Structure 1
Amino acid sequence: CLSTCATSLHMLEIARFIPGLPQGSFLGGAARVAAGRGERGYRGRAVGRVFAGMTIANILGAPFASYAGTYFGWRLSYLLIGLISAVCCVMVQMFVPYDAPNRARSALGELAAFSRKQVWFVIGTVAVGCGGMFCVYTYFSLTLQSVTHVPVWAIPLFQSLWGVGMFVGAWVGGIVMDRNLKWATIGAFIWNAVALGLFALVATNIPLTALAVFMLGGGIALSPAMQMRLMDVAADAQTLAASMNHAAFNMANALGAWLGGLVLVAGYGDAATGWAGMALSCIGLLLFLLSLWSEARDGRKEARLAG
């Protein structure tokens, strides 16, 4: 609502910054609650459904905000977002079970998780590997208009299609994660890399671009997979694990947008953001494989010392 009343660009920037502060804690906390309340063996599905709920914003919220901003003004869009947030606060209070605080834990105890190598591996993997999506998404509308030649009125439809892909990816990804988290994560990285490369190749063709956009949305399965990975390696620092995944995801947002901007400034063309994103996804996959190798090596070393 503060954004609605903004009278200058600086005020709008501050108003946009403030809502971002609790975002990681909220989504991470929701994932933690879902994982704790889910049945044994269904933790991936529970976390995946939390992220699937988030994707509804891309199916309905983003297109609606685009239309509202275009035809009724941007202030109305921000006002509606503020009202929806207020409704969500009431619903959380009504429906989320109360979780008594653990007096045995402390903030310093949670911060001790940063001494674990695997925690840093996850943060780095997410910050780099998930940045590929934002290379494309940040300049998505620009590419659709200048390369794909999609009419302005159809851009929200492509945003919805991306959101549908995200919903399917989060839902199906949760099921696959319950079967094998490691291979589900590797598969999500490969899926992202292929989708980003496909977008760069077919950006001039509307039907194939639509397919690539749907596939790009499906890559969101990587986020709940890495959330579960972080919860596993953070051990007893689950509160930290609940927030740091999304914090790293926001770092990926910044890195991807920055790299995509460099590609455009260098004159490689709007569609080339797909190639830059593909490179980030491949680096993320390498980091994840390196973390698995390091974890296995440390496990063997501990076994030798124990024996």
Structure 2
Amino acid sequence: MKKKLLPLALGGLGIGTTEFVMMGLLPDIAADFNISIPEAGHMISAYALGVVIGAPLLVVASRNFAPKKILWTLMVVFTVFNACSAFAPTSMTLLFSRLLAGLPHGAFFGVGSVVASRLAEKGKEAQAISLMFAGLTIANLLTVPLGTYIGHHYSWRYTFGLITAIGLVTLLLIQLWLPTLPVSKTGNLRTELGFFKNREAWIILLITAIGTGGLFAWISYIAPLMTEVSGFSADQVPYILILAGFGMVVGNFVGGRLADKISPVKACLLLLLCMAVSLLVIYVGSGSKAVSLTMTFVAGGLSLAIAAPIQILMIKTASEAEMLGAATTQAAFNIGNALGAFFGGLPIAMGYGYTSPELVGASMAITGALLAGLLIKRRRAYSAETVPGSQQEALVEF
């Protein structure tokens, strides 16, 4: 990994840890504050709400500052409120700390994606973005299981102490290793807010929220699927999640290379179709331990493979508001998280069993693929009307 991209990857490691470790810490937090696990689950929702609120607002508010300064400030906010989480005296204090800790999430990945693409060699922008998201994948492979272990055997507060330490190291590396890039403004505030009038940008946001929601329908209920259907013991579930994390690491780099090779929009279409097929295989074959383990790796890989393609697709689409567009895409990912978990839980509540979320997820992934196909069709129609034949394919490529 290039040294200048390491601060972005380390920031992704911290953000990925604080986002996903909460799932494993809920029983410990609930016991500590004497609340129910569903009440403790509000901490997850609060963080996701912070991401959705902070992604567009913080990018717009910081538009006049250089990217390095923006990223440093966002990481300060991240570090401070994760430290507040570690020392939270009440569940309500923790709830607000989680909300505020979520604010810089989308903006960091949004600004970081643009910075990574600017630092990349021509034609390798998506691969550079995938290097930033490598931190997020490694979090699921290493620090999330580690943080869960620390929370179970010592204290969940120590876990947030670990996250705070990652934030502090990230601040140091941003200062030392991240190049200083100039402020990039192609228009005024009104021009940037015009991003929200861009129909293609909204299609990309729908692809993100609906298409990626398909995999969240699966992973949100992976524990009961593995114990009740596949026949694994509860003690084996953490190791299965590590396997999913390893798949994420591999899939993230595959997605970056695929986007640079066949174009981001085509990569999104292909990956969403693969996602739908993988979920259908899980639905049919989850009674077999071998199939379950294999598809956990595959589905985990697909869950992060789309991250770099969708980011570079939005950056190129929102050319006059690239940071705002990239940050808003991160908000859409979190909306997909919520939608997948909600819709995936409905058939379980109706008594259709723990394999039923996979049918919901496959439907969401197919819907995302259809939207990607619509985007390709729109661009081809536009190029046929306005661009000479020799240049039409180039327009569709982004």
After superposing the two structures, state which structure 1 stretch, 52-61 or 139-148, moved more.
139-148
Contact 1:62 1:156 (8 Å CA) reproduced: no
Residue type of the alignment partner of 1:12: L
Which whole-Å CA distance do the structure 1 matches of 2:156 and 2:213 have between them? Answer: 27
Distance change >3 Å, CA 39–CA 281, structure 1 → 2: same
What letter matches 1:255 in structure 2?
L
- Cα distance, 1:260 vs. partner? 1.5
Alignment partner of 2:274 out of 164, 171, 191: 191
Query: Aligned pairs, how many?
Result: 304
Deviation at 1:170, TM superposition (A): 1.1
1:241 equivalent in alignment to 2:311: no
SS of the residue 1:194 aligns to:
helix
With CA pairs under 8 Å and 6+ residues apart, which has the higher RCO, 1 or 2? 1
Note the alpha carbon deviations across 1:9-47, whole angstroms, 9 max, x for none: 333222222221111111122211111111111112112
CA distance in 2, matches of 1:106, 1:261: 44
CA distance in 2, matches of 1:104, 1:287: 28
Q: Match of 1:300?
A: 384
Matches within 5 A, 1:11-160: 11-102=93-184, 105-160=187-242
Contact 1:62 1:159 in 2 (8 A): no
Structure 1 residues 78 and 189: CA distance shift in structure 2, 3 A: same
Give CA-to-partner distance per residue, 1:189-239, whole Å, 9 cap, x none: 112112212222222322211111111111121121111111111122112
2-structure distance, mates of 1:191, 1:167: 17
Considering only aligned residues, what root-mean-square deviation do their CA atoms show, in Å? 1.8
Paired position in structure 1 for 2:360: 276
| Contact persistence 2:185–2:320 (CA under 8 A) | no
Quick one: distance in 2 between partners of 1:118 and 1:149?
44
Mapped pair 1:211 → 2:288: no
Task: Tell whether the 8 Å contact from 1:52 to 1:168 is kept in structure 2 after alignment.
Answer: no
> Given the superposition, is the C-alpha separation of residues 292 and 264 from structure 1 closer, same or farther in structure 2, using an over 3 Å criterion?
same
Which residue of 2 is the match for residue 161 of structure 1?
243
1:40-86: CA deviations, max 9, x gaps? 11112112222223200010022112212222232222222222222
State the alpha-carbon separation in 2 of the partners of residues 171 and 41 from structure 1.
15
Q: What letter is aligned with 1:144?
A: M
Q: Retained in 2: the 8 A contact 1:62–1:160?
A: no
1:222: which partner in 2? 306
CA shift for structure 1 position 122: 0.4
Give the TM-score of the pair, scaled to structure 2: 0.72
TM-score (norm 1): 0.93
**How has the CA–CA distance of structure 1 residues 138 and 9 changed in structure 2, closer, same or farther, with 3 Å as cutoff?**
farther
CA distance in 1: counterparts of 2:117 and 2:181, whole angstroms: 13
> Unaligned stretches of 5+ in structure 1?
none
Summarize the Cα distance change of 1:78–1:202 in structure 2 as closer, same or farther, 3 Å threshold. farther
Alpha carbons 1:162, 1:217 under 8 Å: kept: yes
Change (3 A) 1:142 1:6: farther
Cα distance in 1, alignment partners of residues 360 and 184 from structure 2: 44
Are the equivalent residues in 1 in contact too, given 2:283–2:358 (CA < 8 A)?
Answer: yes
Q: Residues 191 and 276 of structure 1: is their aligned pair in 2 closer, same or farther, counting only changes over 3 Å?
A: same
Deviations 1:80-125 (A, max 9, x none): 2222222222222221111222466433321111221111110111
CA distance in 2, matches of 1:64, 1:102: 39
Q: 2:253 aligns with which of 155, 171, 185?
A: 171
